Chain A
Amino acid sequence: AQSVTQLGSHVSVSEGALVLLRCNYSSSVPPYLFWYVQYPNQGLQLLLKYTTGATLVKGINGFEAEFKKSETSFHLTKPSAHMSDAAEYFCAVSASGSARQLTFGSGTQLTVLP
């Protein structure tokens, strides 16, 4: 079985400040990890993914995440928030390695303050 915990259902940052969204997972086998973003009234869009190899993963829109096996974490960061980053962010894990079954966290709503 696999699960995902996103700490903080709502996060607010000022424009230009660091964005840090937390994700911890549990998986009985090596995980594949994903971050998705959902803008209002839209579907989910892939930000980045970790499968194997380099543990620091770079995604779109300046986001990156680091896979830390010892901490079972996959936190999402961006050095400088932009107003357009306001959205809901979902962390997901696939233990099967095929994306056949993704388990999603409950989501974090990011607000960017001017």
Chain B
Amino acid sequence: DVKVTQSSRYLVKRTGEKVFLECVQDMDHENMFWYRQDPGLGLRLIYFSYDVKMKEKGDIPEGYSVSREKKERFSLILESASTNQTSMYLCASSGLAGLAKNIQYFGAGTRLSVL
């Protein structure tokens, strides 16, 4: 089974802190994604990466950056956390071939509260 692991289920941070959210996948997938999920808004794409060291902005990249130094790991960085970044963050990955093609697999999510 595909496994996408997010390092924390719950995080509480203070305004202005630098925050790292980590995501690891074990299926050698090329593509990885970060979304935020807010009630009534569904999932919105923050950033995605289709290869190591490659990244592309999604729909709401402001206030976020990402890092992909290894194929299996995709990090989301909040340079200076703000209260409006309190949300559920979901990581996903997808492959380009085989049964995983065209399917995004999701982690369990990190619920971030910024106080």
Interface residues of A (CB under 8 A from B): 9, 32, 34, 36, 41-46, 49, 51, 90, 94, 97-102, 104-107
A93 vs chain B, min Cβ distance (A): 12
Q: Is the CB of A43 within 8 A of B109?
A: yes
Q: List residues 60-91 of chain B with CB under 8 A from any CB of chain A.
A: 90
Interface residues of B (CB under 8 A from A): 4, 9, 31, 35, 40-45, 48, 50, 58, 90, 92, 94, 96, 101-109
Q: Is the CB of A45 within 8 A of B106?
A: yes
A44 vs chain B, min Cβ distance (A): 4
Interface of A is mostly: loop
B4 vs chain A, min Cβ distance (A): 7
The CB with the most chain A CB atoms within 10 A, among B40, B104, B108, is that of B104
Q: Is the CB of B102 within 8 A of A43?
A: no
The CB with the most chain A CB atoms within 10 A, among B35, B42, B101, B106, is that of B42
